[in-house]
Amino acid sequence: MTARRVVAFGGGHGLSASLRALRHCAPELDLDITAVVTVGDDGGSSGRLRAERGGLPPGDLRQALVALAGDHPATRRSAGLFQHRFAAVPAGVPPLGEADPALTATDGRTPDPRDQAATGEAAAGQGADGQAATGEGAASQGADGPGTERASSRADGLAGHAVGNLVLCGLMELLGDPVAALEHAGAMLGAVGRVLPMSRQPVGIEAQVRGVDPAAPDEVRTVRGQHQVAVTTGRVESLRLTPAAPPACAEVVEAIRAADWLIFGPGSWYTSVLPHLLVPQLADAIVSTSARRLVTLNLAAEKETLGLSVADHLAALHWYLPELKVDLVLADAKAVGDPEPVERAAESLGARLVLAPVAVTGGTPRHDPAALGAALVPVLGADR
């Protein structure tokens, strides 16, 4: 059987859930999976690295790679390492490789010069070019002494960063190309699919939001940055990228043209799903490809989509890409409620609504990868 080529669009946890579901389908359907990831993240570890080092924000790319990681124990361990996030080091804890002065005082040993050299190198943060780094690696003596200051600097520098974010940032700098970096990282994780950025350059996300200030519910303001849009308490009225027409990743355009299926969602609608439709070259490829198109709806509204009905999510796709035609819309029956307005919205896109139990039972609304995968098998496996 010829492999079915599937391209999944999104970012963050929504795309991760979709990729894990596709992995459940992969053995039965022989899927060739490509993940296309937004590059607008400006919060948390990704935002810090983007601001300090430039280049693409790595967090959503890391999440996609981990979702596709192989099942060998070594690759699963590597996936766990990619997800490991550094915690803050308590004040007074010496940096790695540095002897605790309290211990040396009690055992009476003279510190080994090799340990001191290692400590100095770590403190200076020297890289391959021999230049001392600033920030977490720099040794700085304050009123409490050098040990305390260095511990504080380390905590500030690494705390909150995921190891995989740092690895991807390093690979992108080393190889000079984010696609090559992602291919290398995918090989490290034994990934069963490919992860690509929607653009080789980072983008900004801006929204016109009504009611940001509760005291002025009718006032429309510009909210800048993916994180701020995602957590806005107002109603998003329009969305745009900066720059307005970022160049699409050429490998993504090729994947879209060769695909059998394109999958949009689940995920944050304004910050993970719709941005793909705002890249002109991607929009053209999505509209013109012979691939079938599937939309997986979210289970619950997020802050950025408060006040948006399930049917409104589908209407937003048409608003931002009027030429878009969809074949199937997949949703959880409990999340949809009355299916009639959703069916009408799906039909306006040319799609048929498919209802299936795809949510985990109990707890926060989220997709169950196994259940979502089971629902996708008959859909993706059907002939035209």
The predicted-structure confidence for 199-250, as pLDDT tens digits, reads as follows: 999 999 999 999 998 889 999 999 999 999 999 988 999 999 999 999 999 9
Q: What is the mean pLDDT of residues 370-382?
A: 94
Residues 191 and 271 sit within 8 Å (Cβ to Cβ): no
Range of the domain at 66: 40-86+164-197
- Are residues 68 and 214 located together in one domain of the fold? no
Query: Is residue 223 assigned to a domain?
Result: yes
pLDDT (tens digit, 9 = 90+) per residue, 308-343?
899 999 999 999 999 999 999 999 999 998 999 999
Q: Which long-range contacts (CB under 8 A, 24 or more apart) does 42-50 make?
A: 42/204, 42/225, 42/226, 42/227, 43/225, 43/226, 43/227, 43/230, 44/160, 44/227, 45/85, 45/160, 45/161, 45/162, 45/165, 46/165, 47/227, 48/160, 48/161, 49/161, 49/165, 49/166, 49/169, 50/202
Same domain, 170 and 62: yes
**Does residue 189 sit in the same domain as residue 75?**
yes
Q: Is residue 262 part of a domain?
A: yes
Of the three residues 197, 222, 247, the one that is the final residue of a domain is 197
Please give the Cα distance from 370 to 20 (Å, whole number).
8
Backbone angles phi, psi at 194, to 5 degrees: -115, 140
Partner residues linked to 331 by β-bridges? 355
Q: 120 and 50 in one domain? A: no
Residue 316: predicted pLDDT: 95
Q: For position 94, what pLDDT does the model report?
A: 65
Query: pLDDT of 40-81, one tens digit each?
Result: 999 999 999 999 999 999 999 999 999 999 999 999 999 999
Q: What is the pTM of this model?
A: 0.83
Say yes or no to pLDDT of 137 above 60: no
Statement: residue 159 has pLDDT above 60 = yes
Question: What mean pLDDT value characterizes the chain?
Answer: 85
pLDDT band at 1; cut points 50, 70, 90: low
The least confident of 86-95, 123-132, 331-340, 375-384 is 123-132
Residue 365 and residue 300 share a domain: yes
Q: Looking at the domain assignment, is residue 92 inside a domain?
A: no
Q: What is the DSSP letter of 342?
A: H
Statement to judge: residues 312 and 251 lie in one domain: yes
CA–CA distance, 340 with 353 (Å, rounded to integer): 10
pLDDT of residue 382: 87
pLDDT of residue 185: 98
Position 239 in a domain: yes
How high is the pLDDT of residue 167? Answer: 98
| Of residues 40, 47, 46, 51, the one with CA closest to residue 206 | 40
Tell me, yes or no, whether 217 and 270 share the same domain: yes
Q: Provide the CATH number for the domain around residue 303.
A: 3.40.50.10680
91 belongs to a structural domain? no
Number of domains into which the chain is organized: 3
What is the percent of the chain where pLDDT is above 70? 83
Q: Are residues 336 and 228 in the same domain?
A: yes
pLDDT at 27: 81
Taking only the tens place, the pLDDT of each residue in 266-287 is 999 999 999 999 999 999 999 9
The per-residue pLDDT for 363 is 76
Query: Mean pLDDT throughout 139-144?
Result: 35
Q: Specify if 95 maps to a domain.
A: no
Q: How confident is the model at residue 28 (pLDDT cuts 50, 70, 90)?
A: confident
Q: What pLDDT is recorded for position 301?
A: 81
pLDDT tens-digit readout, 79-110: 999 999 999 877 666 655 554 444 344 344 43
pLDDT at 93: 67
Cβ contact 81:164 at 8 Å: yes
E strand map for the chain:
4-10, 31-37, 193-197, 204-210, 220-224, 235-242, 261-264, 292-296, 328-331, 352-355
- What is the C-alpha to C-alpha distance for residues 116 and 94, in angstroms, rounded to an integer? 13
Same domain, 279 and 339: yes
Tell me: do 185 and 313 sit in the same domain.
Answer: no
DSSP one-letter code for 24: H
How confident is residue 121, by pLDDT bands cut at 50, 70 and 90?
very low
Statement to judge: residues 241 and 327 lie in one domain: yes
Residue 183 belongs to a domain: yes
130 and 177 in one domain?
Answer: no
Last residue of a domain, one of 197, 215, 249: 197
pLDDT tens track for 359-369:
998 878 899 99
In a domain, 96, yes or no: no
